[in-house]
């Protein structure tokens, strides 16, 4: 199968692909979003000089950033999203790593970057591809009823047709979450049962491993907040149990039914994944000038899940990075900035951050030391959008400085950014693990917008930032153009400034 995929990759990279005609002009909301982001950058530039006069390099960086933001149009990132949507439409509805849809996306991105004058390379690697082929949960009885279930990545497989077993609810004992400690299973008849647990306090893998040690046949984890649950066990494990995710409402209903039943509640669970090694590619592009020992690295993952086209997750981040790369080339065609800028579009993020992990692992000690910082952009067009900045305050002084800068770039009279924790769910994780400072912005995923956030940013409180997260409805209709424009302008602010002057480390308590 690897040879077949490699052949498909070669053909995909060799076959011409014409981008669609430009999208229609943006709505006034998009223009307003871009103007707000530009104003925010201007405010940030003013704020940067309050503590001390900017150095000549900082002043040059602010000037370059201003030209870059001014050069962005309302349709730059939207145009790239249109291309990625057309690619998905032509390739089975998705752009998952190891598929023709992803390879065509990578080739398109590489051509955009090469046309802008960057030195483009393709970083090939092999990864364990996984795709659900059966996801079905049936509560037996009269009548039977179906409940939506999603296989966690790296799940163990049931036999075709599924397994039939009693359901047992597992609750937490002590301060930990349900299933996070072996004691949670003590005194319960778990052997041969399907264990039902709430999400929280430890990894899905740990819950699954504890259930397996207690003799369970399978695991169902339900969400700790409204909405469906998808996730991963992290790594392949031949001993892993079949493990699926449920929406909170379904999990609570099952738990209540299991407690109320006179006889054990019986379910039939069919969870299976296609598992095979596939080849894929990261796209890397860097300026031809600038100090190679001082690299500003800016990245986003390009792959989608197999369930849909992934226009917000994460064509939006990739489009923002591409638009910023074009803006830098237009604003500084002769270069001249002292730091080298490298743009990266990672693959196989949805399979466990594989592309970014491969890149970091392959860096020599000298090359790793040369990466001054990494900026990550994942889901920046969420329709119920937020203005989040990864919180580096408790990481390292330069990550803290990046957070402060990005907060200022997203700030302004009508839009105030809020911190979000580094939770290791995106491509910044291997960089931080390698000691490389990191930061980035985020418009929100499957979490729910609070009343305070809705008052601050608009949108609907109590609803997900992205209701189509990891679903087939993650299309162009799932994008907030104004939010995308605001985040893209913030990327340009950071790149223009850091090309000239790295953020001064912030003193930490």
- Kindly report, residue by residue over 481-507, the tens digit of the pLDDT: 999 999 999 999 999 999 999 998 876
List the end-to-end C-alpha distance of the chain, in Å, as a whole number: 53
199 vs 222: CA distance, rounded Å? 6
φ/ψ (deg, to 5) at 246: -125, 155
pLDDT of residue 5: 30
pLDDT of residue 43: 45
According to the model, what pLDDT value does residue 412 have? 54
Asked if the model's pLDDT at residue 281 lies above 60, the reply is yes
Nearest to 310 by CA among 22, 16, 101: 101
pLDDT at 33: 44
Angle between helix axes 76-90 and 100-115 (nearest 10 degrees) is 150
Instruction: Please say whether the beta carbons of 292 and 185 come within 8 A.
Output: no
Alpha helices in 298-436 (DSSP H): 317-331, 354-362, 365-370, 397-409, 428-433
Return the minimum-mean-pLDDT range out of 3-12, 60-69, 110-119, 342-351. Answer: 3-12
C-alpha 137/C-alpha 146 separation (Å) is: 6
DSSP state of 204: H
Angle at 506 between CA 389 and CA 386, to 5 degrees: 10
Cis peptide before 153 (omega within 30 of 0): no
pLDDT of residue 24 exceeding 80: no
Q: What is the mean pLDDT of residues 312-332?
A: 98
Listed as own residue / partner, the contacts of 451-459 with beta carbons closer than 8 Å and 24 or more positions apart are: 453/386, 453/418, 456/415, 456/416, 456/418, 457/385, 457/386, 457/387, 457/415, 459/384, 459/385, 459/386
Closest CA to 487 of 468, 470, 465: 465
Q: What is the pLDDT of residue 415?
A: 61
pLDDT at residue 55, as a whole number:
95
Assess contact for 346 and 355: CB atoms under 8 A.
yes
Higher pLDDT, 254 or 505: 254
Position 418 pLDDT exceeds 60:
yes
Domains and CATH numbers, the chain: 2-14+31-118+287-498 (3.40.630.10), 130-275 (3.50.30.30)
Do the Cβ atoms of 387 and 452 come closer than 8 Å?
no
Instruction: For residue 323, give every residue at least 6 positions away whose Cβ sits within 8 Å of its Cβ, in sequence order, or none.
Output: 72, 76, 77, 80, 488, 491, 492
What is the mean pLDDT of the segment spanning 65-82? 96
Task: Give residue 254's pLDDT.
Answer: 96
Dihedral angle computed from the Cα positions of residues 350, 277, 344 and 327, in that order, rounded to the nearest 10 degrees: -80
Residue whose entry in the numeric block shows the structure tokens 């002292």: 338
Q: Which pLDDT value is given to residue 236?
A: 84
Using CA of residue 148, residue 154, residue 156, residue 161, what is the dihedral sign? Answer: positive
Q: Quick one: pLDDT at residue 299?
A: 98
How far apart CA 464 and CA 424 sit, in angstroms, is: 20
Mean pLDDT score of the chain: 89
Is the pTM higher than 0.85? The answer reads no
pLDDT at 270 over 70: yes
Q: What mean pLDDT comes out for the span 363-390?
A: 98
pLDDT above 90 for 375: yes
Q: Is 362 exposed, middle or buried (0-12, 13-18, 19+ CB in 10 A)?
A: exposed
**What is the average pLDDT across 104-112?**
98
Q: Which residue is associated with the tokens 């790149």?
A: 495
State yes or no: is 349 an active-site residue: yes
pLDDT single digits (tens) 142-201:
899 999 999 998 999 999 999 999 999 999 887 778 999 999 998 888 999 999 999 988
What is the C-alpha separation between 226 and 467, in angstroms, rounded? 11
Output the six-digit token pair for 105: 């996306």
Position 509 confidence tier, pLDDT thresholds 50, 70, 90: low
Which residue among 349, 350, 357, 453 is the active-site one? Answer: 349
For residue 345, what are its two tokens?
């579009």
SS3 293: strand
Q: Is the pLDDT of residue 13 over 50?
A: no
Range scoring the smallest mean pLDDT among 9-23, 134-148, 286-300: 9-23
Please report, rounded to a whole number, the percentage of residues in the chain having pLDDT higher than 90.
76
Indicate the helix (H) or strand (E) that contains 457. Answer: helix 451-457
For residue 411, the model assigns a pLDDT of 78
Mean pLDDT score, 300-324 = 97
Strands (E), 153-242: 163-169, 194-198, 218-222
Q: In this model, does residue 25 exceed pLDDT 80? A: no
pLDDT at 441 over 50: yes
Please name the residues in contact with 107: beta carbons below 8 A apart, sequence gap of 6 or more. 12, 13, 17
For the cut 70, the answer to whether the pLDDT of residue 463 exceeds it is yes
Helix then strand count (H, E) for the chain reads 14, 14
Q: What is the mean pLDDT of residues 285-298?
A: 97
């Amino acid at each position: 199968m690897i040879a077949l995929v490699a052949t498909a990759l070669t053909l995909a990279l060799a076959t011409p692909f014409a981008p669609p005609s430009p999208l229609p002009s943006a709505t006034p909301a998009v223009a307003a979003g871009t103007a707000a982001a530009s104003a925010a950058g201007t405010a940030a530039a003013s704020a940067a000089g309050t503590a001390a006069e900017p150095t000549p390099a900082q002043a040059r960086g602010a000037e370059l950033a201003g030209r870059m933001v001014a050069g962005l149009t309302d349709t730059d990132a939207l145009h790239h999203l249109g291309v990625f949507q057309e690619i998905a439409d032509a390739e089975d509805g998705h752009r998952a790593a190891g598929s023709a849809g992803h390879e065509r996306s990578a080739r398109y991105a590489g051509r955009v970057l090469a046309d802008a004058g960057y030195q483009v390379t393709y970083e090939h690697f092999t990864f364990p591809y996984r795709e659900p082929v059966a996801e079905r949960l049936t509560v037996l009885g009269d009548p039977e009823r179906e409940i939506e279930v999603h296989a966690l990545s790296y799940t163990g497989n049931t036999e075709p047709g599924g397994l039939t077993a009693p359901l047992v609810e597992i609750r937490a004992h002590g301060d930990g979450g349900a299933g996070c400690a072996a004691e949670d299973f003590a005194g319960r008849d778990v052997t041969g049962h399907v264990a039902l647990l709430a999400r929280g306090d430890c990894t899905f893998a740990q819950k699954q491993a504890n259930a397996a040690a207690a003799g369970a046949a399978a695991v169902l984890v339900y969400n700790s907040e409204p909405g469906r649950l998808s996730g991963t066990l992290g790594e392949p494990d031949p001993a892993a149990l079949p493990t699926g995710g449920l929406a909170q409402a379904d999990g609570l209903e099952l738990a209540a039914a299991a407690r109320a039943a006179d006889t054990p509640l019986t379910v039939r669970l069919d969870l299976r994944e296609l598992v095979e090694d596939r080849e894929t590619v990261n796209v890397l592009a860097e300026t031809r000038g600038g100090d190679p020992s001082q690299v500003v690295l800016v990245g986003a993952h390009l792959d989608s899940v197999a369930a849909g086209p992934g226009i917000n997750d994460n064509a939006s981040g990739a489009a923002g990075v591409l638009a910023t790369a074009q803006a830098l080339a237009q604003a500084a065609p002769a270069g001249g900035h002292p730091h080298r800028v490298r743009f990266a579009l990672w693959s196989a993020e949805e399979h466990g951050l594989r592309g970014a992990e491969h890149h970091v692992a392959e860096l020599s000690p000298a090359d790793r030391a040369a990466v001054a910082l990494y900026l990550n952009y994942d889901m920046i067009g969420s329709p119920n959008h937020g203005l989040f900045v990864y919180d580096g305050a408790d990481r390292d002084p330069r990550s803290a400085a990046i957070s402060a800068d990005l907060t200022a770039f997203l700030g302004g009279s009508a839009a105030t950014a809020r911190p979000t924790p580094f939770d290791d769910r995106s491509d910044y994780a291997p960089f931080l693990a390698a000691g490389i400072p990191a930061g980035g912005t985020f418009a929100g995923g499957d979490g729910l917008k609070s009343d305070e956030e809705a008052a601050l940013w608009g949108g609907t409180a109590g609803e997900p930032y992205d209701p189509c997260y990891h679903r087939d409805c993650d299309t162009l209709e799932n994008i907030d153009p104004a939010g995308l424009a605001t985040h893209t302008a913030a990327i340009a602010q950071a790149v223009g400034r850091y090309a000239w002057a790295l953020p001064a480390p912030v003193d930490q308590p």
